[in-house]
């Protein structure tokens, strides 16, 4: 069965950096687009970024463009999110999500990792 | 960029039918597929409807989706409500450069 396990969340000061990782299993990782979606405490879902199966294409929400970088390692079945210049408003649970390629539909979600940006 | 607007909350009794709307602010609702996700407290979202009206395997046929071009909106209808349907529901769509979620609707089954 599909499993997505996020790691790397934690407490970071404003302006700091953090790298999230996601270990995928139960499907052919290299065949699928992958995404990061976040949810601030008590708030709704916000799409952050997605990456194509071969890493040739990436897309970002305006709120993180220029600060966050999505990447993947198909040999390690892993997805990453490098987050720089973090702000208080980036505080959220970050979900690693498999996309139902070629559709823009999120069919499997990890349990999420909490990122808290606070001084 | 477009927005998807949902009612903040809806409530209905067990056994009844409820419909949650999702209105697209600009661009045609029919131009890109709409998905619906259910999120129970403390859990990650799961898909209940994809591509406007398709149900993933395992989702009961009490859940249905539709789009209405005249109102530029999508709808999620849940019939025969059960207490286990109490959750937050989010619509989602996209265009050439963005993925957009609605703000979410809290469904209370009382």
pLDDT digits (tens, 9 = 90+) for B35-91: 999 999 999 999 999 999 999 999 999 999 999 999 999 999 999 999 999 999 999
Cα dihedral: B33, B52, A37, A35 (round 10): -60
Q: How far is A97 from chain B (nearest CA, A)?
A: 10
Q: A109 CB near a chain B CB, below 8 Å?
A: yes
Residue B8 backbone zone (phi > 0: left; psi -120 to 50: alpha; other: beta)? alpha
Cβ–Cβ below 8 Å for A104 and B94: yes
Place of tokens 């349990």: A111
Q: What is the pLDDT of residue B83?
A: 96
Q: What is the mean pLDDT of residues A52-74?
A: 97
- Tokens (6 digits) for A1: 């069965």
Place of tokens 């929400």: A61
Q: How far is A107 from chain B (nearest CA, A)?
A: 6
CB neighbourhood size of A89 (10 A): 10
Helix (H/G/I), strand (E/B), else coil: A54:
coil
Q: What is the mean pLDDT of residues A4-26?
A: 98
Q: What is the pLDDT of residue B97?
A: 83
Confidence of residue A101 (pLDDT cuts 50, 70, 90): confident
- Tokens (6 digits) for A71: 């990447």
Please state whether beta strands A113-117 and A10-12 pair in parallel, antiparallel, or not at all (unpaired): parallel
Rg (C-alpha) for chain A, rounded Å, is: 13
Confidence of residue A102 (pLDDT cuts 50, 70, 90): confident
Cβ–Cβ below 8 Å for B45 and A61: no
């Amino acid at each position: 069965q599909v499993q997505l396990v996020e790691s790397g969340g934690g407490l970071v000061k404003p302006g700091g950096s953090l790298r999230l990782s996601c270990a995928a299993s139960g499907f052919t990782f290299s065949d699928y687009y992958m995404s990061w979606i976040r949810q601030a405490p008590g708030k709704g879902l916000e799409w952050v970024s997605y990456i194509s199966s071969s890493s040739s294409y990436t897309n970002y929400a305006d709120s993180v463009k220029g600060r966050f970088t999505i990447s993947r390692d198909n040999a390690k079945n892993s997805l990453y999110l490098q987050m720089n210049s973090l702000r208080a408003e980036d505080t959220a649970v970050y979900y690693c999500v498999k996309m139902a390629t070629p559709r823009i539909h999120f069919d499997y979600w990890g349990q999420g990792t909490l990122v808290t940006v606070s001084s | 960029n477009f927005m998807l607007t949902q009612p903040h909350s809806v409530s209905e009794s067990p056994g009844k039918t409820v419909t949650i709307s999702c209105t697209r602010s600009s661009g045609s609702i029919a131009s890109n597929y709409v998905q619906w996700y259910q999120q129970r407290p403390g859990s990650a979202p799961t898909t209940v409807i994809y591509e406007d009206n398709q149900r993933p395997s395992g989702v009961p046929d009490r859940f249905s989706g539709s789009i209405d071009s005249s109102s530029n909106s999508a709808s999620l209808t849940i019939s025969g409500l059960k207490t286990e349907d109490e959750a937050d529901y989010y619509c989602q769509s996209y265009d050439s450069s963005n993925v957009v979620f609605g703000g979410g609707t809290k469904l209370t089954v009382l």
